[in-house]
Amino acid sequence: MRMYTKAGRSRWPYVIGAAVVVVAVAGGIVYSSTQPGGEPTAAASSEPTPTASAPSGGGSSGAGDSDEDLAPTGCLGGQERTADMVFAAQDSAKHTSYGAVEMAASVYRWLWQSPHPVEAEANAVSGEIMAKSANESFKDLAASYSATPDMTGGQVAEDTPYHLSTTNGLWSITEGSTGDQVEVNLAAGYVINGELSSSKSAVISMTMVWEADSWHLLSGGTPDQDKLAAGGNRFTGGC
């Protein structure tokens, strides 16, 4: 997995800056745009809202699964941002769309942090969570960390510790997802020097596939930020 394409742009989306569409996850309010006068326009409440109806053929719904499965907490596997947390989440995540969301959120919390995970840990996680059919360069997390010291694109000052928090974060599922392949869209707030930022957040889209009795990561991309802001669901917990 290379974080930068030939054009020099990261394959992993980072912060939605102030000059573009904003998803402000830290204050309990979601904004889809910043007006010329600087006043943001609220686009969604804090209450989870389904983003798509269930597709025909038994696929997953846009908001997740039935009431028999608990809505995503954003903290599956525990609060620690370690390989063991990711593995615990993978073992626990159910074969449901909610399970795919939980697994994606755990992977994102582990992946997007500085200092970065050491090479041995990155290799261990790659070997366990990547889908068999994922692109070979995408699978190589250790090489990505080495090639891209600043994953935030300058949004966080160099050598400043940071990680992500799903507290007041957002998730949605792209319409057309199925029971075995779910495209999960996430927004999470930056925690910089131990403090949750009120203005900086990161977004990502992860395609999760069910194989070998657990969820695996097939690919990553950039979600539709307008849809995520307008129709995203809150995590029920967060960490």
Q: What is the CATH number of the domain that holds 107?
A: 3.10.450
Read off the pLDDT of each residue in 126-132 and give the average, rounded to a whole number: 98
* Residue 6 included in any domain: no
Residue 79: Cβ within 10 Å count: 12
* Residue 155 included in any domain: yes
Mean pLDDT of the chain: 78
- Total tally of structural domains belonging to the chain: 1
The pairing of beta strand 195-211 with beta strand 214-221: antiparallel
Kindly give, in sequence order, each residue whose CB lies less than 8 Å from that of residue 199, ignoring residues fewer than 6 positions away. Answer: 18, 24, 26
Q: What is the helix (H) or strand (E) element at residue 88, kind and residue range?
A: helix 83-92
* Residue 189 included in any domain: yes
Per-residue pLDDT, 114: 96
Rg of the chain, C-alpha, whole Å: 17
Residues in the chain: 239
Half-sphere exposure of 63 (CA within 13 A, CB side): 15
* Residue 57 to residue 39: CA distance in whole angstroms: 44
Host domain of residue 157: 30-47+79-234
* Residue 31 to residue 53: CA distance in whole angstroms: 24
* Residue 133 included in any domain: yes
* Residue 39 included in any domain: yes
* Residue 60 included in any domain: no
Per-residue pLDDT, 68: 61
* Residue 195 included in any domain: yes
Kindly give, in sequence order, each residue whose CB lies less than 8 Å from that of residue 101, ignoring residues fewer than 6 positions away. Answer: 64, 72, 171, 173, 182, 184
* Residue 61 included in any domain: no
Where does the pLDDT of residue 235 fall: very low under 50, low under 70, confident under 90, or very high at 90 and above? very high
Nearest to 106 by CA among 119, 92, 96, 116: 92
- Tell me the pTM: 0.76
